[in-house]
Amino acid sequence: MKIKLPCKSVVREYAESIIIAVVLALFVRTFIMGVFKIPTGSMKPTLIEGDHIFVNKFVYNFIPPKRGEVVVFKSTEEKKKYLIKRLVVFGGETLEIKEGSLYINDKPISGIDSFGQRYYYNRGEFGGEGQRVAVPDKSFYMLGDNSAGSRDSRYWGFVPKKNLVGKAFLIYWPLYRIRVIK
C-alpha cells in the first residue's frame, strides 16, 4: 500500500519563497547594508553626483569609526535626511583650519593622504579663520572632500555618535565608476 503525501501547490511554494526573500532583504537592508545615491558634489572627487554606494551599517557596532573614513549619518538639521562626509575629528579633540590645512590638537593631520591632498576653506560658524573648535564627547566633526562646495560641520556643528548610520565602502553604479571608497 502506497501512502500519498499531500504536495504543496506551485503557487504556495512560490509565495513562501517570495515572502522569505522579502523578509531577508528587509533584514539585510535594515541592519547590515544600506544603499544610497549621492545627490550633490560635496564629496568630489571621491564621490560625484549620481554615484550609488553600499554602506556597511553594522561595522560601527563592533569597531569604532576611524579618522578619514567616509561615513553616512542622519542630519542634525533635517531628521529624515541622510548625509555623507569624511570623519575628521573625534569628541574631546580640537580642530583648527589654517592656510587650507587641518590641525587637530594643534598638530597637522598626518598619515592620511585624503586630508593632505585637499585645501580646506575657513567658513561657517564652526570653521572660521583663527577659530579653534572643541568637539564634544560622543560627537564627530565631518567635512566634505569638496571644501569649497560642501555644507558640513563648519556650518551646522557636530554629529552625535547616535546619528551614525555606517561606513560607505563601495560605489556600485554607474558601472564605469565601480570602486572601493577610500
- CA 84, CA 71: separation in Å to the nearest integer? 6
- CA 141, CA 150: separation in Å to the nearest integer? 13
Q: Which of 42, 139, 150, 153 is catalytic?
A: 42
- CA 46, CA 181: separation in Å to the nearest integer? 7
* 174 cis-preceded (ω within 30 degrees of 0): yes
Judge whether 37 counts as a catalytic residue: no
Judge whether 167 counts as a catalytic residue: no
Q: Which of 57, 85, 150, 167 is catalytic?
A: 85
Tell me the Ramachandran region of residue 111: left when phi exceeds 0, alpha when psi lies from -120 to 50, beta otherwise: left
Cβ-Cβ contacts under 8 Å for 25 (sequence gap 6 or more) = none
Instruction: Using the Cα atoms of residue 158, residue 83, residue 79 and residue 36 in order, give the sign of their dihedral.
Output: negative
Q: Which are the catalytic amino acids?
A: 42, 85
